[in-house]
Amino acid sequence: HLRKEGLARIEPTEEAMDLWIAHVNDAANATVLPQAKHSWYLGANIPGKPRVFMPYAGGMARYRKICADVAARNYQGFKLST
């Protein structure tokens, strides 16, 4: 899309980032993974890094649908620029 439209940059908006983080946390909290005390999934392999659940636990089909919906809405939640 960026190449076709002559764009060079795509960045999420602050609001979109906050919504995505909340969604990732909701998906993770539906599993037992965030309960681990020491896991690389939580960033435990990097000293000083805040412990947050990093992967998306909502499933690939759900992730693809979210991506397709964002694209269909002209990349709502992102700033596109040259």
Across the chain, mean pLDDT equals 92
Give the mean model confidence (pLDDT) for residues 53-66.
94
Of 47, 53, 51, nearest to 33 by C-alpha is 53
Q: Residues 13-33: what's their mean pLDDT?
A: 94
What is the rounded average pLDDT of the residues 11-15?
98
* Across 14-18, 27-31, 39-43, 44-48, least confident range: 39-43
Question: Which has the closest alpha carbon to 16: 82, 81, 72, 66?
Answer: 66
